[in-house]
């Protein structure tokens, strides 16, 4: 933890947030602004399998057998990846750690490399508002124009403003019950991680309901402060 000797160690950030909170957008913004590399579990696994590393080969055989890749394998892949030169500006982890057991193992792994989690950024949403926002979406099946029950209803109900077609489509995934179930699952899975990082004093709660640029400004402010 002594910053006075050697090169500055690259920051490690964790981005937490439910589906629909704009996590991907914010992660891209941070990558562009600070040169961080975004590492998601899926991307890590795919890349390791393609590269044929030891951990990648283990992951491949588990996935081919239809199993779930274990924490140990995911962390071994992450350790390999963090050592690559493009991670020297810092990384944003997305989807890993998933459990407090993984979080503890990750802390050990980082400590061995002289690193630690600099910030866990938790994008916070208003669940009810999220359901209204997502469940209200529909699109014209003919031209693809997007609409919303509350924010952008067509001038004539059921008729597309752009092309006049009467073929509005709603995604099954956008149903209110489905959205609510996704949010519940997110909270159940993430609550232990949030308290884990809160206890370590690295948790930042970011309200993620407003304008995308405003949310980005809040996140940028936090990241600029902790990496200064």
**Residues carrying an active site annotation:** 23, 98, 137, 171, 182
Provide CB contacts within 8 A for 131, sequence distance 6+.
176, 179, 180, 183
DSSP class per residue in 119-179? EEEEEE--HHHHHHHHHTEEEETTT--EEETTTB--SBTTB-TTT----EE--GGGSHHHH
Minimal distance, residue 157 CB to Zn ion, in Å: 14
Segment near Zn ion (CB under 5 A), from 49-57, 81-89, 136-144, 178-186?
136-144
49 neighbors 62 (Cβ within 8 angstroms): no
Site membership for Zn ion, residue 44 (CB under 5 A):
no
Site membership for Zn ion, residue 168 (CB under 5 A):
no
> Between residues 116 and 139, which has the closer beta carbon with respect to Zn ion?
139
Site membership for Zn ion, residue 142 (CB under 5 A):
yes
Site membership for Zn ion, residue 161 (CB under 5 A):
no
Site membership for Zn ion, residue 138 (CB under 5 A):
no
| DSSP symbol at 94 | E
Distances from the Cα of 64 to the Cα of 49, 58, 198, angstroms? 11, 10, 37
Minimal distance, residue 140 CB to Zn ion, in Å: 3
Chosen residue from 143, 153, 156, 217 binding Zn ion by CB under 5 A: 143
Site membership for Zn ion, residue 162 (CB under 5 A):
yes
Residues 16 and 92: their CA atoms lie apart, in Å, by 10
Chosen residue from 160, 179, 203, 223 binding Zn ion by CB under 5 A: 160
Minimal distance, residue 142 CB to Zn ion, in Å: 5
Segment near Zn ion (CB under 5 A), from 9-17, 125-133, 138-146, 190-198?
138-146
| DSSP symbol at 210 | S
Give the binding site for Zn ion (CB under 5 A). Answer: 140, 142-143, 145, 160, 162-163, 165
């Amino acid at each position: 933890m002594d910053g006075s000797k050697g090169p500055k160690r690259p920051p490690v950030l964790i981005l937490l947030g439910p589906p629909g909170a704009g996590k991907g957008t914010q992660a891209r913004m941070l990558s562009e602004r600070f040169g961080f590399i975004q590492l998601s579990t899926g991307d890590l696994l795919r890349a390791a399998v393609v590269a044929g590393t030891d951990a990648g080969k283990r992951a491949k055989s588990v996935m081919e057998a239809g199993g779930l890749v274990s924490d140990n394998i995911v962390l071994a892949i992450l350790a390999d990846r963090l050592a690559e030169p493009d991670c020297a500006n810092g990384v944003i982890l997305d989807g890993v750690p998933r459990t407090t057991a993984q979080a503890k193992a990750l802390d050990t792994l980082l400590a061995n490399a002289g690193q630690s989690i600099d910030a866990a950024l938790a994008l916070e949403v208003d669940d009810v508002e999220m359901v209204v926002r997502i469940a209200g979406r529909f699109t014209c099946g003919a031209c693809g124009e997007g609409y919303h029950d509350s924010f952008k209803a067509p001038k004539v109900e059921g008729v597309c403003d752009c092309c006049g077609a009467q073929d509005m489509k709603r995604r099954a995934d956008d149903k209110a019950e489905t959205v609510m179930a996704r949010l519940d699952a997110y909270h159940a899975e993430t609550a232990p991680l949030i308290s884990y990082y809160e206890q370590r004093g690295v948790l930042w709660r970011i309200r993620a309901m407003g304008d995308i640029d405003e949310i980005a400004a809040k996140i940028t402010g936090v990241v600029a402060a902790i990496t200064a």
